[in-house]
Amino acid sequence: MSYQAPLRDMRFVLHELFDVSAHCELLGNGLDRELIDGVLEEAAAFTGNEIAPLNRNSDEEGCQLVDGNVTTPKGFRAAYQQFVDNGWASMTGPVDFGGQGFPQLVAFTFHEMLMASSLSFRVYSGLTEGAVLALHKHGSAELQKDYLAKMVSGQWTGTMCLTEPQAGTDLALLRSKAEPQADGSYKVSGSKIFISGGEQDFSENIVHLVLARLPDAPAGVKGISLFLVPKFVAKADGSLSDKNALSCGAIEHKMGIKGASTCVMNFDGATGWLIGDANQGLACMFTMMNDARFQVGLQGLGIAEAAFQGALRYARERLQSRGLAGAQQPEKAADPIIVHPDVRRMLLTQKSLVEGSRMLAAYTARQLDLEHGASDAAERKAASKRAALLIPIVKAFFTDMGQEVASHAVQVYGGHGFIREWGMEQLMRDSRITQLYEGTNGIQALDYIRRKVLGDGGSELNALIGEFADLADQASARPALAELGKVVGERLNQWRELSAEVIAMSQRDAQEIGATSVDFLQYSAYVLLAGFWLQAAAKAQDALDAGSSEIEFYQAKLHSAAFYVRRVLPRASSHREALLGGADCLMAMPEDSFAF
């Protein structure tokens, strides 16, 4: 499937909305506008020309497991080598281990492009970047020396081995064990499932980060430790040992992302080393959680962009029926289906969700950068709180959105949407995993309401709402934006009231936490996107007022903002009404009565 990175919109978001040059100056990383735009161009060429063409075949061919070795689809191995050689793998890696230390506010655009080009291909490197984060933050100097540089460069890959058959969401049920050895190493044993990239054929070593229990560990999540268990142990002289006592027992047959190997990994007394302190495994994992969940959110965004591009292409080419107000292109056998209001409804829903989400992604990326890189400790803390609030929204909302937008693409193609060669149904299948892994979207919603909203009595959320309310007030004072500003301002007030109500309900009855969680997250996301659309409209109006020559581009932003507020934002109403329906009607049904 063809894919072209949406460079104009990315530049709008980076430069016009978030002033990425000033951000980079503040972070002191030496990136300027010219350099950033150059990277974006290169990234667009790499993903569009090298990665996207592999995606369709990767779905047909999938991965094969033969004698414990996994073969990835044709072209993946070579493309990965290019990914490493051209420095894409090390883009966000720590500078002290050879990484380029790009801020998330720049890197997220490349990662979105990767997701859009081939989610399967991206899975391998995405997991490696997560492992790098955990190892860089918590690993001993020796482990870092032996493993980190090659993981940062992408020469070696990494995995996250958390899930076991009986322990998915509930890691307290984890059974894998680690026996301490005299030399300070451990023998790790257990069976892990759903391990993305557990085996593949394009890196000479794979570094597994494995959650397991020490012999004397307390029960539950407080007794879980994190271990580095390499496929081949790095020896002092830089050579590799014989294969460690671990193996890929099976690969899963899945709905989608068939080019990504999803492995059952068996550890049979494999040699490993503790990362961080004993029994602090979950805390070590949490280090990378925000980034990992942000990346999964970008998967939803990337797939949505690819789906929108596919749908738009088809809607402009496919001739079928005449417009409701008469023939629009009478010289042709029929009008292109983009003339039909309902096709436009689907396309604009896609477009406004994708572009709205891209603004939220950038905003969140900026917080992640400031959390780590701001010079002022208070600023770092503030950014950390803001990022923590937004991450579950980004993960859950973007991935639900990705699935919806891909489904609209299938619908725009009509019967052809169901046919594999057109590629739209693959996007639906590939994106479906994003709602499940890295914490299901239900778990994201619980995290949002419990830790991020109830956790501080709603104060961070209210601060966020307040900032957007100020923007709405400013917009309302400008005639061209008054109507938009008014509608968004009213929703922000409603959000503030609703969050107070949700907090009160949850304090009265713990079941309300879970009963309101998903609807409240969705509600929040739709209103938040309205806030960003208002910002985009204001910037577009500024540009038009200043006499920009890109009139069509900025007018399109105003049209999209109006569409979003009038035709998508109303979804917030139903989420609000539904969650106010409360927990009683969920809990009243006896378990046995479900089956009637």
Q: Please confirm, yes or no, whether 438 is among the known catalytic residues.
A: yes
- Residue 93 or 423 having the CB closest to a second copy: 423
Q: Does 590 bind a second copy (CB under 8 A)?
A: yes
- Residue 208: which of 256, 296, 273 has the closest Cα? 273
As measured in angstroms, the least distance from the Cβ of 118 to a second copy is 17
How many residues of this chain interact with a second copy, rule: CB under 8 A? 103
Q: Which of 179, 277, 421, 542 binds a second copy (CB under 8 A)?
A: 421
Structure tokens that stand for 140 in this block: 């001993």
Helix/strand/coil (H/E/C) assignment for every residue in 517-534: HHHHHHHHHHHHHHHHHH
- Residue 384 or 411 having the CB closest to a second copy: 411
Going residue by residue from 3 to 32, which x/- string records binding to a second copy, judged by CB under 8 A? -----xx-----------------------
- The span from the CA of 365 to the CA of 103, in Å, is 8
Name the one range near a second copy by CB under 8 A: 92-100, 316-324, 388-396, 459-467: 316-324
- Residue 537: which of 513, 559, 570, 566 has the closest Cα? 559
- The span from the CA of 523 to the CA of 335, in Å, is 37
Q: Which of 77, 177, 345, 496 binds a second copy (CB under 8 A)?
A: 345
423 contacts 310 by C-beta, under 8 angstroms: yes
Burial per residue of 392-410, b for 16 or more beta-carbon CB atoms within 10 angstroms, e otherwise: bbbbbbbbbbbbbbbbbbb
Listed in sequence order, the residues at least 6 apart from 320 whose beta carbon sits closer than 8 Å to its beta carbon are: 334, 335, 337
Q: Which of 104, 261, 271, 441 binds a second copy (CB under 8 A)?
A: 441
Binding to a second copy (CB under 8 A) within 100-139 occurs at none
Q: Which of 324, 327, 477, 504 binds a second copy (CB under 8 A)?
A: 324
The owner of tokens 């900032």 is: 467
Q: Does 331 bind a second copy (CB under 8 A)?
A: no
Q: Which of 137, 145, 381, 420 binds a second copy (CB under 8 A)?
A: 420
Q: Which of 445, 461, 484, 502 binds a second copy (CB under 8 A)?
A: 445
As measured in angstroms, the least distance from the Cβ of 334 to a second copy is 6
As measured in angstroms, the least distance from the Cβ of 218 to a second copy is 16
Classify 19 in phi/psi space as left (phi over 0), alpha (psi -120 to 50) or beta: left
Among candidate residues 199, 305, 438, 512, the one labeled active-site is: 438
Name the one range near a second copy by CB under 8 A: 30-38, 137-145, 344-352, 382-390: 344-352
- Residue 179 or 317 having the CB closest to a second copy: 317
Listed in sequence order, the residues at least 6 apart from 220 whose beta carbon sits closer than 8 Å to its beta carbon are: 172
Q: Which of 433, 461, 464, 537 binds a second copy (CB under 8 A)?
A: 433
Q: Which of 71, 86, 440, 494 binds a second copy (CB under 8 A)?
A: 440
Name the one range near a second copy by CB under 8 A: 107-115, 197-205, 333-341, 467-475: 333-341
400 contacts 441 by C-beta, under 8 angstroms: yes
Q: Does 504 bind a second copy (CB under 8 A)?
A: no
135 contacts 185 by C-beta, under 8 angstroms: no
Q: What are phi and psi of 486, to 5 degrees?
A: -65, -50
Binding to a second copy (CB under 8 A) within 153-172 occurs at 163, 166, 168-170, 172
Q: What are phi and psi of 101, to 5 degrees?
A: 55, 30
As measured in angstroms, the least distance from the Cβ of 172 to a second copy is 8
- The span from the CA of 126 to the CA of 144, in Å, is 19
Q: Does 454 bind a second copy (CB under 8 A)?
A: no
Catalytic residues: 438
